[in-house]
Amino acid sequence: MTGTAAKGHCQRGELDLTEGSVRRLLIRYFIPIWFGSVFQQLYVSVDAAVVGRFAGKTALAAVGGTTTLLLDLSLGFFIGFTAGAGVVISQYYGAKDRCHLRISVQSAMYMSFAFGVMLTFAGRALTPAALKLMRTPPDVVPEAASYLRLYYLGAVPSLLYNMGSGVLRAAGDSGRPMYFLAFSTVLNIVLDIFMVAGLGMGVCGAALATVISQTVSALLVLMVLLRTGDPYRLEPGPVRDPSYTGISVRMLELGLPSGIQYMLYTVANLIVQARINTFGTDPVAAWTAYSKLDGIFWMTMMAFGTAITTFAGQNAGAGRMDRVKESVREGALLSFGLTAVICAVLLMMSRELLGLFTKDETVLEQSMHFMALLVPTYFLYTGTELLGGVIKGLGDSFTPMMITGISAFGIRSLWAVLAPGFVPGIDTVALSYPVSWGISTLLFAVWYLVTAPCGRSDAEPKG
C-alpha cells in the first residue's frame, strides 16, 4: 500500500495498535471491550435474577447451570471460531492490506450466517437428549427445554453480531460494539421485567427477551458494516477474487481450533456440572447463582484476551514483534491487577451480590461457600488468558487448543469424575477448576518461553 493510501487508515474510533504507547493502547482498547462484556454478562444475569426472584428456584436452575453450559457448548464453538477468524482480519489490518481485508470480512460474515442457520435447527432438535445426558433434575427439565428451544431461535443474529463486532474490534474499533450491546442489554432488561414479572411468562419470557435483544444488536452491527466507507466494508454478493478461497481456508485453520478450544472448556464444565447435578436442586441453584457472579471474572479475562489477541495480531501483521513482547509484560501487570480488584469485590460483597439471584437462605449460604472456596484461586488462571491470547494473535490457534485439551478437558474432567471417589463431596468437584487453571498457565508459560518468536531471546528485533 502506498503512503497516501495508508494515511488516514484509522477512522471512526479505530485504533492502529502498531504505533504508540503499548500500555496506553492496551488500556484504551480493553476498556470498551470490557464494558461490552459487562453488558453481555447482563444478558444472562438479568435472566437469572428476574426469573429467580419472580418464578422461583426451579426456574432459576432451568436458566442456569446445565442450560448455560449447553448454550456455551453450541454457541460457544462458533464464538470461538469468530475469535480465530478475527486474527486473520487483524493481521491484514495491521499490514494495511485493504484488498484482502475486504475479502476476509465477506468470508467471515457469510460463514457466520451459514453456521447460525445450522445451529438453530440442530440446537432445537437435540435439546431433550442433551438435558437427559446431563442428568438434569426431573423437575427442572420442562422449563429448561422450553428456554433452550426458544433461545436457539436467536442463533443467527447472535453469530452475526459476534462476528460483526469481531470485525470492528480487529480494526481497532472496540467502541461501537460496546454501544450497540449496551443498547440491546437495556432493551433485554426492560423486556425481561415486562415478560417475566409483568406477564408471568417465566423462562419463555426470558428467552424471548434475549432473542429480540440479540436481533437488535445484530442489525446495528450489520448497518455499520454495510454503510461504512472504511476498508472493512461488507459488500453482499458473490466474491470472484481468486484469493477468496485461500483466505476462507486460512480463517477455518485459525477459527476451527479456537472453536474447538472453547468447546473443550465447555465439555469439561458440562462434566463438572453433571457431577454437581447429582447433589440435588438446592446445590444446582446455588452453583447457578455463584456462576453468575463468577462470570464477572470470566468476562473480564475474555475481554482482556480479546484485546491482547488483536494487539498481537495487528503488530504481527506489521512485523513489530518487539511490541508483541512488550505487550506480554504490560498485559501481566494489567491482568493481575484486574484479578485482585475482582477478588476483593466478590469476597467482600458476596452476600449482597448473591442476594440478587435468590431469596432462599439455604441456596444463599451454599453459594457463599462456593465463593469463599474458589474466588481466591482466580490468580491461577490469568496467565492462561494472557499468553494464550498472544499465541493466537501470532497465528497459532492449534497450541491453545491442545493445552486446553490437556488442562481443562483432561485434568478437570478426570478430577471431577475420579477425585470424589477418594474425597466425597461437592467441594472436591469444585476444586477441579483451580487445579486445571494452574496446570494450564504453567503449560502456556513453558510454550511461550520456548517456542513463541517474541518469547525467545534469539527473537529480539535486529537494528
Instruction: Give pLDDT tens digits for 324-335.
Output: 888 888 999 999
Query: C-alpha cell of 280?
Result: 440435588
Q: For residue 229, give the 3-state DSSP assignment.
A: coil
pLDDT at position 377 is 94
Q: Is-contact 164 221, C-beta < 8 A?
A: yes
Q: Using the predicted structure, report yes or no on whether residue 270 has a pLDDT greater than 70.
A: yes
Q: Using the predicted structure, report yes or no on whether residue 344 has a pLDDT greater than 60.
A: yes
Rounded Cα–Cα distance for residues 259 and 166 (Å): 14
Rounded Cα–Cα distance for residues 118 and 197 (Å): 33
pLDDT at position 381 is 93
Rounded Cα–Cα distance for residues 59 and 387 (Å): 39
Residue 8, by phi and psi: left (phi above 0), alpha (psi -120 to 50) or beta? left
Task: State the virtual CA torsion across 350, 352, 357, 363 in degrees, nearest 10.
Answer: 60
**What would the mean pLDDT of 93-101 be, rounded to a whole number?**
76
Nearest residue to 255 (alpha-carbon basis) of 48, 53, 79: 79
Q: Using the predicted structure, report yes or no on whether residue 305 has a pLDDT greater than 90.
A: no
Q: Is the dihedral of CA 356, 360, 361, 367 positive or negative?
A: negative
The pLDDT tens digits of the residues spanning 122-139 come to 877 877 777 777 666 666
**What would the mean pLDDT of 362-381 be, rounded to a whole number?**
90
Q: Is 194 exposed, middle or buried (0-12, 13-18, 19+ CB in 10 A)?
A: middle
Q: Which residues contact 298 (CB under 8 A, 6 or more apart)?
A: none
Rounded Cα–Cα distance for residues 435 and 433 (Å): 5
Q: Is 419 exposed, middle or buried (0-12, 13-18, 19+ CB in 10 A)?
A: middle
Tell me which of 254 and 55 has the higher pLDDT.
254
Residues listed for the chain: 463
Rounded Cα–Cα distance for residues 109 and 81 (Å): 12
Tell me which of 59 and 197 has the higher pLDDT.
197
Give the count of alpha carbons within 13 A of 271, CB side only. Answer: 18
Rounded Cα–Cα distance for residues 11 and 229 (Å): 10
Confidence of residue 22 (pLDDT cuts 50, 70, 90): confident
Rounded to 5 degrees, what angle do the CA atoms 291, 294, 295 make?
A: 90
Residue 238, by phi and psi: left (phi above 0), alpha (psi -120 to 50) or beta? beta
Per the prediction, the chain carries an average pLDDT of: 80
Rounded Cα–Cα distance for residues 233 and 389 (Å): 26
**What would the mean pLDDT of 222-235 be, rounded to a whole number?**
81
Q: Using the predicted structure, report yes or no on whether residue 12 has a pLDDT greater than 90.
A: no
Whether the pTM exceeds 0.75: the reply is no
**What would the mean pLDDT of 267-273 be, rounded to a whole number?**
83
Tell me which of 403 and 44 has the higher pLDDT.
403
Q: Which residues contact 162 (CB under 8 A, 6 or more apart)?
A: 78, 79, 82, 112
Rounded Cα–Cα distance for residues 60 and 66 (Å): 11
Q: Which residues contact 293 (CB under 8 A, 6 or more apart)?
A: 346, 350, 353, 354, 371
Q: Using the predicted structure, report yes or no on whether residue 213 has a pLDDT greater than 60.
A: yes
Q: Is-contact 389 305, C-beta < 8 A?
A: yes
Count CB-CB contacts under 10 A for residue 332: 14
Residue 172, by phi and psi: left (phi above 0), alpha (psi -120 to 50) or beta? left
Confidence of residue 444 (pLDDT cuts 50, 70, 90): very high
Nearest residue to 35 (alpha-carbon basis) of 138, 183, 155: 183
The domain spans of the chain are 21-452
